[in-house]
Structure 1
Amino acid sequence: MNQTRTFLMFALLAVAYFLFLAWEKDYAPPPPQAAVASAASAATPTADASVPGAIPVASVPGAATPTITTTAGPAAPASAQLITIDTDVLKLSVDTRGGSLVHADLLAYPQAPRTHKAPNPPPTVLLANDDAHYFVAQNGLVSSSDSAPADQPNHLALFHSEKTTYALADGQTELKVDLTWQDAAGLKVTKTYSFKRGSYVIGVSQRIDNGSTTPWQGNAYQQLLRVEPPKASNWLKNYTDPETRSFQGAAWYTGEKFEKLSFKDFAEPKDLLNAPIKGGWAAMLKLYFFAAWIPPTGQTEQYVTQTINPDSAHPRYLIRTVGPALSVAPGQSLTSQSRLYVGPNLQGTLDTIAPGLDLTIDYGMFKIIAVPMHWVLSQFHAVSKNWGVAIILLVLLIKGLSWKLTAVQYRSSAKMRKLAPRIQALKERYGDDKQKMQMATMELYKKEKVNPMGGCLPVLITMPVFYGLFFVLEYSLELRHAPFLWIPDLSAPDPLYILPIIYAIVMLGTQWLNPVAAGMDPTQAKMMKVMPLLFTVMFAFFPAGLCLYYAVNGIVGLGQQWWITHHVDREDVVKPA
């Protein structure tokens, strides 16, 4: 099988897939509101219509069904006061209205590569409170009594903080920020955020001190709300931007299985989540970064997904976990614990935070190949200190391991190349009699001991490796803003288009070693001739890390093919008697 034709087939499939994604983002109809409404009613009991944005807690083992209000709805209170928290890796804003995290800057990850003109670009924003990019982390307590939501320590209650700014000082390893709430009856709640140096994990505790004369009963909950990211202005941006191609939506871990729900699937009632889960977590994902609520290990919580204000210009998508029932007698205290991760998708480190958290880097069906490849790539980087060099070393390793397989493919192509003139003669001899032509061709193959399918098996074996590496280079945070020679960012297209041009030259060399086979359809022959141009255009918009892999892989493969073709051609030299 001709290697170039095989790559063309898979490339066209990939282009068709990405174009479909881009078209769907630009022209797909909006989710039917009726479906969203029915999904809401199917996921939870009917909410109290008198409470704007009210969503009741679904049934939790040992719990009642209190009502949780959301920030949606015209009567929702505005921000009260913003508290700024600075650590060595995070810059956060906490709203005293509910003690919610409404803004998060990831200080170690700038929005753009550092250059001489812009040595200090602004940090990446993960959580945000504006309507177009809304993404917040909320938590609170909800009573199972009939008290009004305004009288409960939920994420709409007004908390108090002693200071408006907090910072992790030099030499300090831990920082704690307390927010307090108290009602007229004597119930006091202290919400504490705990930060550790170098960590993106935020400890969250809610201490209940019941100074009233009646028992307090209710539930602790955590939730993430987010809007769908703004769409790119045109289909080309959707095609070329890895973030628009990556998964965007909610995800959760059941303790055994990783599941996810894209924003468009929130409109499907059958896909919505409403189930008790033990030992899991709930997250909102985007390319390279994510936020996740992690309940205590071994605790069963109710997980729910929901669409808030589906008729608005920016509907909000929610994933929530609700803990088991809590009961605090008068004069007693109780503390509810949870953790919040706000940070990068660093493979190999997340599972130490919570089981299954590494699955947020979703390689899909190619995970079994992609994960080991990422590990090998990381080892090469540890030695070379450059991700571009690491990619080259990975190419050489893969080519070395697959050398025998690809040699079979190239040898088959070389023999078919030698037989091309004789096959053309058969075509001229038999004309339009395809049956006789086929029989004569197979007889020629048999006589010359050539297997026309000899190059197919190696391609089928190496193709999963090809796709596995595609996802590794596409989703690896490490390649983001990583420089290599003239390339400032391996996760962005080559600014000078040198790598796409190199690959086009490699393809021209491959075509020279594999001239158009006799009998090929004229349309296919024309496509083969324009392939270098097609690949140059396609790769011009691909991340430079991917182009670097393909270019180096093509150069090594071309050298191997030339060597094998040269030796096959020498086999015709007449040996002395």
Structure 2
Amino acid sequence: MNQTRTFLMFALLAVAYFLFLAWEKDYAPPPTAAASSSTAIPAAADGSVPGAIPSGSTASGNAPVIASATAGASQATAQLITITTDVLKLAVDTRGGSVVHADLLAYPDAPRTHKAPNPAPTVLLDNDPAHYFVAQNGLVSSSDTAPQDQPSHQAVFQSAKTAYTLADGQDELKVDLTWQDAAGLKVTKTYSFKRGSYVIGLDQRIDNGTDKPWQGNAYQQLLRVEPPKAGSWLANYTNPEIRSFQGAAWYTGEKFEKLPFKDFKEPKDQLDSQIKGGWAAMLRLYFFAAWIPPAEQTDHYVTETINPDSAQPRYLIRAVGPALSVAPGQSTTSEARLYLGPNVQGTLDAIAPGLDLTIDYGMFKLIAVPMHGVLSFFHSIAKNWGVAIILLVLLIKGLTWKLTAMQYRSSARMRKLAPRIQALKERYGDDKQKMQQATMELYKKEKVNPMGGCLPVLITMPVFYGLFYVLEYSLELRHAPFLWIPDLSAPDPFYILPIIYAIVMLGTQWLNPAAAGMDPAQAKMMKVMPLLFTVMFAFFPAGLCLYYAVNGLVGLGQQWWVTHHIDREETAKAA
């Protein structure tokens, strides 16, 4: 089977697959109004819309409701305080002590250029309504205490200062927020930061100064809207942020699971489970936020859509801790951790089991993970990701050299048989059975395997997809420059690599002039293949185009050598 024809089939499948993904994101039916499993709750003053914990969600089996603040509580004065470390800059709302904004200082939002040497940092959390994404936490009583009298994420806390900074030479920073009611119940939230770390510790200490026992639960939740899309279909299709998974994810202690925003409306897909040693996250391309309860603790995890009928519903994932009981005059502390940072492969499992799975290569994980490891090894030598990709090409070509040589040898021999096959067509006319028998006899006589060129293509296609996911989802390749390319994870800005690959395909066609035995419709399709691939690769990551351009050049050289060698063999036989 001709190499180009076979690859065309897989390329068309690839194009159809990516077009379908883009169409589904743009034109999928809008969410229908879903029946909520909890009581309808009005919006709070800060714009967040808390949900309710379904009954049975706590270890005690008696679930309190996390409700909005009442009008009186909403009128209480709240403010934003800033917390700056060497890697994070946060805004914490004293209403609930929620983290409502997070800048990742080490990760610029755009590649550094001569015109923009200091681009703005990447924003992970944001309280802007169009990009709403916040991390909330609180305590809620299991008694009949009025919502405004509970230290939930709607209660107004007090802070000693409006700005905190991890000073030079300081390895740890702690920020306290306090709340106290008239009866003597006091809650102190303490956020802990360490130099160089994206993990934030959270302690919620309950001091019961009342004359009655306090019972309730601690909870943590992430609340987010679906990111806005660009105006055109093409802009969405070429934007890796839009193409990537957007939604909630969690770890059950054994299994990693995801829920895209479009499936939040499906009751059968909702999370409602008791999980020990898990975590809850909201994912985006390259970065994520995750609440991580203590590993030995069993929490109740739920997902929910807030205001599903609105133009911009908010999606929630929550972890509710086991029941807490604090006797009068006693105290207890609930602990959790919040991760706000990058998706760096090979480092996250040290924070929590399964956290590395947030880098989701899907069904190609078995190929993508080792490929990322090899790329990282080459990068440690070459100090450039583009050079590392070229070295990966040479490695793969070396490992598959015999297979591809077999493919090129089969193509060359099939090309030489093309006139004889055409003669068989003219002899047998429309008698397909005799034509097929005569063709197979010819193949057997000349020792040619018509399927000999297919195996290498079938092997390289998983490599294609694995590398696609590595280049699209690996943080290390984000904004990685190579020669004229500022970002290997984005399309080539000058389309040089797609054009090079089109030229390689023209060279391949020149070495395989198969028009003699080819159907006219197939022949026309072959002629447009270079244009098809130029257009397709124009929207792919430049790193992937670099891989296939170099792979094509090396393959073209190998094919020329094999074809030339066979021509010499035929000449020697004829002599």
TM-score w.r.t. length of structure 1:
0.95
Amino acid at match of 1:277: I
Amino acid at match of 1:430: Y
Counterparts in 2 of 1:247-286, with a 5 A limit? Answer: 247-286=245-284
Report the counterpart of residue 443 of structure 2 in structure 1: 445
Q: 1:50 and 1:510 mapped to 2: Cα distance?
A: 63
Distance verdict in 2 for CA 1:155–1:284, change over 3 Å: same
Amino acid at match of 2:148: A
Distance verdict in 2 for CA 1:77–1:62, change over 3 Å: same
> Could you tell me whether the CA contact under 8 Å between 1:53 and 1:71 is conserved in 2?
no
Report the counterpart of residue 420 of structure 1 in structure 2: 418
Amino acid at match of 1:32: T
Find out whether 1:5 has 2:5 as its counterpart.
yes
> Could you tell me whether the CA contact under 8 Å between 1:58 and 1:302 is conserved in 2?
no
Report the counterpart of residue 351 of structure 1 in structure 2: 349
How far is the alpha carbon of 1:518 from its aligned partner?
4.1
Amino acid at match of 1:217: Q
Report the counterpart of residue 512 of structure 1 in structure 2: 510
> Could you tell me whether the CA contact under 8 Å between 2:418 and 2:517 is conserved in 1?
no
Which of these residues, 38, 52, 55, is aligned with residue 52 of structure 2? 55
Report the counterpart of residue 163 of structure 2 in structure 1: 165
Amino acid at match of 1:558: L
How far is the alpha carbon of 1:57 from its aligned partner?
4.4
Find out whether 1:528 has 2:526 as its counterpart.
yes
Amino acid at match of 1:256: E
Q: Secondary structure at the match of 1:459?
A: helix
Amino acid at match of 2:60: G
Q: 1:124 and 1:228 mapped to 2: Cα distance?
A: 17
Counterparts in 2 of 1:57-76, with a 5 A limit? Answer: 57-59=54-56, 60-69=58-67
What is the number of residues matched between the two proteins? 570
Report the counterpart of residue 19 of structure 1 in structure 2: 19
Q: 2:143 and 2:102 mapped to 1: Cα distance?
A: 34
Report the counterpart of residue 156 of structure 1 in structure 2: 154
Q: Deviations over 1:218-248 (max 9, x none)?
A: 0000000000000121111121111111100
Note the residue ranges of structure 2 that are not aligned, 5 or more in a row.
none
> Could you tell me whether the CA contact under 8 Å between 2:125 and 2:132 is conserved in 1?
yes
Q: 2:227 and 2:43 mapped to 1: Cα distance?
A: 31
Q: Deviations over 1:352-386 (max 9, x none)?
A: 11000010011111111111110111111111111
Q: 2:265 and 2:544 mapped to 1: Cα distance?
A: 35
Amino acid at match of 1:447: K
Q: 1:48 and 1:531 mapped to 2: Cα distance?
A: 57
> Could you tell me whether the CA contact under 8 Å between 1:26 and 1:234 is conserved in 2?
no
Counterparts in 2 of 1:199-238, with a 5 A limit? Answer: 199-238=197-236
Q: 2:236 and 2:69 mapped to 1: Cα distance?
A: 31
Q: Deviations over 1:73-93 (max 9, x none)?
A: 9x9779820000111111100
Distance verdict in 2 for CA 1:277–1:58, change over 3 Å: farther
How far is the alpha carbon of 1:521 from its aligned partner?
2.5
Q: Deviations over 1:4-31 (max 9, x none)?
A: 2222222222221222222223222211
Comparing 245-254 with 402-411, greater Cα deviation is found at 402-411
Counterparts in 2 of 1:484-523, with a 5 A limit? Answer: 484-516=482-514, 518-523=516-521
How far is the alpha carbon of 1:201 from its aligned partner?
0.5
Which of these residues, 475, 478, 486, is aligned with residue 477 of structure 1? 475
How far is the alpha carbon of 1:500 from its aligned partner?
0.6
Distance verdict in 2 for CA 1:71–1:288, change over 3 Å: farther
Q: Secondary structure at the match of 1:573?
A: helix
Distance verdict in 2 for CA 1:70–1:395, change over 3 Å: farther
Comparing 57-66 with 258-267, greater Cα deviation is found at 57-66
> Could you tell me whether the CA contact under 8 Å between 1:174 and 1:197 is conserved in 2?
yes
Q: 2:69 and 2:426 mapped to 1: Cα distance?
A: 77
Distance verdict in 2 for CA 1:353–1:224, change over 3 Å: same
Runs of 4+ in 1 over 6 A off after TM superposition: 47-52, 75-79
> Could you tell me whether the CA contact under 8 Å between 1:105 and 1:123 is conserved in 2?
yes
> Could you tell me whether the CA contact under 8 Å between 2:69 and 2:155 is conserved in 1?
no
Note the residue ranges of structure 1 that are not aligned, 5 or more in a row.
none
Distance verdict in 2 for CA 1:79–1:182, change over 3 Å: closer
Report the counterpart of residue 184 of structure 2 in structure 1: 186
Percent sequence identity is: 82
How far is the alpha carbon of 1:514 from its aligned partner?
1.8
Q: 2:76 and 2:244 mapped to 1: Cα distance?
A: 33
Q: 2:564 and 2:9 mapped to 1: Cα distance?
A: 27
Distance verdict in 2 for CA 1:493–1:203, change over 3 Å: same
Counterparts in 2 of 1:261-410, with a 5 A limit? Answer: 261-410=259-408
Amino acid at match of 1:231: K
Q: 1:57 and 1:190 mapped to 2: Cα distance?
A: 26
Distance verdict in 2 for CA 1:72–1:148, change over 3 Å: closer
Alpha-carbon RMSD across the aligned residues, in angstroms, is 2.1
Report the counterpart of residue 118 of structure 1 in structure 2: 116
